[in-house]
Amino acid sequence: MEKSMTEEIPVQKKKKFNLKQWIFIGPHFIFFAVFIFFPMIYGFYASFTRWNLLSTPQWVGLQNYQTILGDPSSSFYRQFRTGLFNTLVFVAGTVPLQVIIPLILAIMLQHKGVRFKGLFQAIFYIPGLISVSAAAIVWLLIFNPRLGPVNNLLGSEVTWVVNQPYAWIVIFMMTLWGAIGGNLIIYRSAMSGISRDLYEAAELDGASGTVKFFKITLPMIKFPLLYTIVMSTAGAFNVFAQPLMVTQGGPEQTTHVLMMYIRTLAFGQGQSVAGMAAAMSILLGLVIVVIAAFQFKIMYSNAK
């Protein structure tokens, strides 16, 4: 996928049995193997079992997957479909804005004439430090028909959290509020790496702001940009706290995202149905990885 970079290093062509890279990647690799890979293998194994987290997992082969994917009469089949669809709505509704809003803000903060950069940056970053439960209550108050500023000051009659598409709008707003700060400071540090000379040279050629953005800024920050796109997407697929606290999945389970179903199965009220939860996690993981692979492919083919 990333041939363009690797091929540029002609040094040490002879790849004999070489350990020097392990000095660098080794420590992380050990942590990865112990705390992510082994547990993951266990989770993968669990997806082929019935397991209540207490007794020994009982092997059922592909049965969980068959139920989730191929048995329309099962409620697990329904949960997976509803949950995945709702999760996709959340991804589509938040990820583009999670990238574009901080990108625009970062460009404006790069402007040489703009002052108070630190203040602006802090205002955008700090909401991410507020706990999700407190954030949910504030946003619920803001959109509360009786108590909140939106209905009282704007004269709106909408009961936000129980009607679509308003329920999604509240969830999107609350998510973006907490999420853009992180991407913003990543873009800021990426843009700081771009030489002023490049812009000055372009300006001498009479390039407009738009041209400079697409010809200089965007190509120069494409690697960090890819990071934020891939990780924001993966994060959005894992969402559960915001819908859980704002709408409890309603109305009519239209905001009931897949991770909420998975967590309820594994750690909800009553005995755990961890095997089914594990199978749904694996399927969700496959979706995330396939989409991430697409994002890599598109970004790198456009970069040529």
Partner 1 sequence: MNIQKKMLLSAATLSLGVLAGCGNSNEIVMWTPLTGEDGQIMDQMVEDYNDTDPEFPVSHVITPDLYTQIYTVMNTGEGTPDLAMIHADRVEGFVRFDMVKPFDDLMSTHTTLNQNNYIDQAWTAGEVDGSQYTIPLDVHSNVLYYNQDLMAQYDIDHFLDDDVLTFDEIMSLEGQLEDGHYAINNALMSWVLLAQVVNLGGDISDDAGNPTIDTPEMAEAMEALVAVEEAGLMTPQGEDGFAMFQGQTVIFSSDGTWSSLAHDMVDDLNYGITNIYSFDSDTWHNRGSSHLFSMLVSEDRTEEKEEGIGEFLEWIYENSITWADAGQIPASREVYESPEFEDYQQSFFTQTEEQRDSLLIFDYEYYGYVEAAINLVILDMLYGNISIEDGLAAAQQEVEDLVAQGHGADIEIDLDDFEVEDAE
Partner 2 sequence: MERNKTFIITKWVSYVLLTITAIIWVFPAIYALTTSFKTQSDVIQTGFRLLPASWVMDNYARVLSNTSSAPIVRWFLNSVLISTSHTILMVIVVSLAAFGYARLDFKYRDTMFFVILAISMFPAVVNIIPNYMIVHRLGWVNTPLAVIVPGIAAVGNVFLVRQFMTGLPKSYDESARMDGASDFTIYLKIIVPLIKPVLIVTSIFSFTGSWNDFLWPTIVLNDVRQLTITAGMLLLQDIYGNYMMIGQLMASAFLAMIPTTLLFIFAQKYFIESLNLNTGLKG
Q: Can you give the C-alpha Rg of the chain in angstroms?
A: 23
- Between 140 and 245, whose beta carbon lies closer to partner 1? 140
Which of partner 2, partner 1, none does 85 bind, CB closer than 5 to 8 A by kind?
none
Positions 155 through 194 that interact with partner 1 (CB under 8 A): 159-163
Binding partner 1 (rule: CB under 8 A), the pick from 40, 44, 45, 52 is 52
CB 167 within 8 A of CB 255: yes
Phi-psi sector, 155: left (phi>0), alpha (psi -120 to 50), beta: left
Is 49 in a helix, a strand, or coil? strand
Is 195 a binder of partner 2 (CB under 8 A)? Answer: yes
Amino acid in position 303: A
- Between 164 and 295, whose beta carbon lies closer to partner 2? 295
Amino acid in position 118: G
Binding partner 1 (rule: CB under 8 A), the pick from 3, 14, 146, 304 is 146
Q: Which of these ranges, 103-111, 197-205, 223-231, 262-270, lies near partner 1 under the rule CB under 8 A?
A: 262-270
Q: Give the angle 229-219-119 at the CA atoms, nearest 5°.
A: 65
Positions 128 through 157 that interact with partner 2 (CB under 8 A): 128-131, 133-135, 137-139, 141-142, 146-149, 152-153
Rounded to the nearest 5°, which phi and psi values hold at 25?
-90, -15
CA distance 174 to 177: 5
Is 27 a binder of partner 2 (CB under 8 A)? Answer: yes
Is 96 a binder of partner 1 (CB under 8 A)? Answer: no
Work out how close the CB of 273 gets to partner 1 at its nearest, in angstroms, rounded to a whole number.
Answer: 5
Is 70 a binder of partner 2 (CB under 8 A)? Answer: no
Is 162 a binder of partner 2 (CB under 8 A)? Answer: no
Site string for partner 2, 91-110 (x = CB under 8 A): ----------x--xx--xx-
Beta strands in 13-116 (DSSP E): 49-50, 58-59
Positions 240 through 299 that interact with partner 2 (CB under 8 A): 259, 262-263, 266-267, 274, 277-278, 281-282, 284-285, 288-289, 292-293, 296
DSSP string of 229-278, one letter each residue: HHHHHHHHHT--HHHHHHTTT-STTTT--HHHHHHHHHHSSSS--HHHHH
Q: Which of these ranges, 10-18, 216-224, 226-234, 268-276, lies near partner 1 under the rule CB under 8 A?
A: 268-276
DSSP string of 106-163, one letter each residue: HHHHH-TT---HHHHHHHHHGGGGS-HHHHHHHHHHHT-TTT-HHHHHH-----GGGS
CA distance 166 to 283: 29
Q: Is the dihedral of CA 131, 132, 137, 139 positive or negative?
A: positive
Is 271 a binder of partner 1 (CB under 8 A)? Answer: yes
Work out how close the CB of 62 gets to partner 2 at its nearest, in angstroms, rounded to a whole number.
Answer: 18
Positions 5 through 34 that interact with partner 1 (CB under 8 A): 22, 26-27, 29-30
- Contact residues toward partner 1 (CB under 8 A) are 22, 26-27, 29-30, 50, 52-55, 58, 60, 74-76, 140, 144-147, 159-163, 248-253, 256, 264, 267-273, 275-276
